[in-house]
Amino acid sequence: MKPRHLGWFLAAALALGSPLWAGENWIYSRTDNFELFSTASEKESRRVLVELEQFRASFLATFPLGRAHEPRATVVLFDTDRQFTPYKPVYKGKPKDVLGFFVPAQDEVTIALTAETADPDIAYPIEVIFHEYVHLLLFAHDLQLPLWLDEGLAEFYSTFQVEDNSIVFGQPKTSYIEWLNYTALMPLKELFAVTKKSADYNEENRRASFYAQSWLLTHFLICGTDRTNTDKLIRFLLLQKTSPGKMDANFREAFSMTPAVLEVELRNYIESGWYHTRKAKLPVADLSAKISFRPATDFERDFALLNLRWRVRHSGDATQSALQLAEQQPSSPRPFELLAAIAMQDGETAKATQYLERAAELKSNNAYVYWALAGDILRELTREFSIDYRLPPRRAADLRFWLDRALELSPDYFQAQETMAFLEAFAPGIRVPVVLRLQEAVHQMTDPTRTLLALAIIRWRLGDQPTSAKIIESLLASPQAAPEVKAAARTLRERLATTDAVRP
Helix (H) or strand (E) holding 417: helix 414-426
SS3 content of the chain, % helix, strand, coil (to 5): 60, 10, 35
Looking at the fold, whether 371 and 503 belong to one and the same domain comes out as yes
Residue 41 has a pLDDT of: 93
Q: Which of 221, 256, 276 is the last residue of a domain?
A: 276
The DSSP code sequence of 244-257 is TT-HHHHHHHHHSS
User: Is 241 inside a domain boundary?
Assistant: yes
Cα separation, 496 vs 503, in Å, equals: 10
User: Is 300 inside a domain boundary?
Assistant: no
Paired sense of beta strands 72-78 and 108-114, if any: parallel
Residue 1 has a pLDDT of: 35
Helix (H) or strand (E) holding 299: helix 298-313
Judged by DSSP in three states, 156 sits in helix
User: Is 282 inside a domain boundary?
Assistant: no
User: Is 232 inside a domain boundary?
Assistant: yes
Residue 330 has a pLDDT of: 96
**Contact partners, residue 168, CB within 8 Å, separation at least 6:** 159, 160, 161, 162, 277, 278, 279
According to DSSP, residue 153 is labeled H
Cα separation, 322 vs 314, in Å, equals: 13
Looking at the fold, whether 258 and 370 belong to one and the same domain comes out as no
The DSSP code sequence of 167-233 is EEE----HHHHHHHHTSPPPPHHHHHH--TTSHHHHSHHHHHHHHHHHHHHHHHHHHSS-TTHHHHH
CATH number of 389's domain: 1.25.40.10
User: Is 385 inside a domain boundary?
Assistant: yes
Query: Is there a contact between 459 and 466 (Cβ–Cβ < 8 Å)?
Result: no
According to DSSP, residue 101 is labeled E
Cα separation, 114 vs 80, in Å, equals: 6
Q: Give the orientation angle of helix 349-361 with respect to helix 367-381, to 10 degrees.
A: 130
Q: Which of 221, 248, 276 is the last residue of a domain?
A: 276
Judged by DSSP in three states, 235 sits in helix
Q: Which of 246, 276, 306 is the last residue of a domain?
A: 276
Kindly provide the residue ranges of all beta strands, DSSP E only, lying in 57-132, ordered along the sequence: 72-78, 90-91, 94-95, 100-103, 108-114
Residue 402 has a pLDDT of: 96
User: Tens-of-pLDDT digits for all 504 residues of the chain?
Assistant: 333 343 433 444 444 333 445 457 999 999 999 999 999 999 989 988 888 899 898 888 877 777 789 999 999 999 998 999 999 988 888 888 888 888 888 899 888 988 876 555 555 556 877 888 888 888 777 777 889 988 999 999 999 988 888 889 889 998 899 999 888 888 888 998 898 889 888 887 788 899 999 999 999 988 888 878 878 877 887 777 667 677 778 888 888 888 888 888 999 998 888 888 888 888 887 788 889 999 999 999 999 999 999 999 887 789 999 999 999 999 999 999 999 999 999 999 999 999 999 999 999 999 999 999 998 888 877 777 688 889 999 999 999 999 999 999 999 999 999 999 999 999 999 999 999 999 999 988 878 899 999 999 999 999 999 999 999 999 999 888 889 899 999 999 999 888 545 555
Looking at the fold, whether 257 and 379 belong to one and the same domain comes out as no
User: Which of 56, 134, 132, 52 lies closest to 99, judged by CA?
Assistant: 132
**Contact partners, residue 80, CB within 8 Å, separation at least 6:** 39, 114, 115, 116
User: Is 41 inside a domain boundary?
Assistant: no
User: Which of 113, 129, 21 lies closest to 76, judged by CA?
Assistant: 113
User: Is 484 inside a domain boundary?
Assistant: yes
User: Is 79 inside a domain boundary?
Assistant: no
User: Which of 224, 202, 207, 244 lies closest to 93, judged by CA?
Assistant: 202
Query: Is there a contact between 145 and 138 (Cβ–Cβ < 8 Å)?
Result: yes
Looking at the fold, whether 381 and 494 belong to one and the same domain comes out as yes
Cα separation, 290 vs 38, in Å, equals: 18
Cβ atoms within 10 A of the Cβ of 16, count? Answer: 8
- Asked if residue 125 has a cis previous peptide bond (ω within 30° of 0), the answer is yes
Cα separation, 101 vs 312, in Å, equals: 9
Cα separation, 114 vs 44, in Å, equals: 11
Domain interval for residue 242: 172-276
Q: Looking at the 3D structure of the chain, how many domains does it have? A: 2
Cα separation, 157 vs 189, in Å, equals: 24
In this structure, the dihedral spanned by the alpha carbons of residues 235, 236, 241 and 242, taken in order and rounded to 10 degrees, is 70
Residue 302 has a pLDDT of: 95
Instruction: Give the distance, in angstroms, between the CA of residue 44 and the centroid of all CA atoms in the same chain.
Output: 25
Cβ atoms within 10 A of the Cβ of 500, count? Answer: 4
